[in-house]
Amino acid sequence: MLSMPEYEKYNKMVRNRKFAQEYFKFTGREYLTMYPRKQPIHFMWPADYFGQVHWVTTKETQFKTVPKNEIKMIQETGLARVLKDDEVSGT
């Protein structure tokens, strides 16, 4: 016979296992049960505190709308478009 706190823990474990089964059916991956886990395949920047922001410079260009004749201008001024440390991007 289980005590009430033990029964609540048992029910929580049963719900967690049912969820894990459904998660595996949907994604084909285990839900937080594989230990040790495989190393992530994508690079992850370290987070030292909540709200930390990392700035990355890339040669790739992102367009929010389709450009008309601006491609040549971007190619000519690409290096000048790099944000300085104290600048914020206009997202």
Q: Do residues 60 and 35 touch, judged by C-beta distance below 8 A?
A: no
pTM check: above 0.85 = no
The three-state secondary structure class of 80 is helix
Give dist(CA 8, CA 14) in Å, integer.
10
Give dist(CA 64, CA 5) in Å, integer.
54
CA gyration radius, the chain: 24
Question: Tens digit of pLDDT for each residue in 22-65?
Answer: 988 998 888 876 555 677 788 888 888 998 888 877 777 677 77
pLDDT band at 75 (very low <50, low <70, confident <90, very high): low
pLDDT of 90 strictly over 60: no
Give dist(CA 67, CA 44) in Å, integer.
32
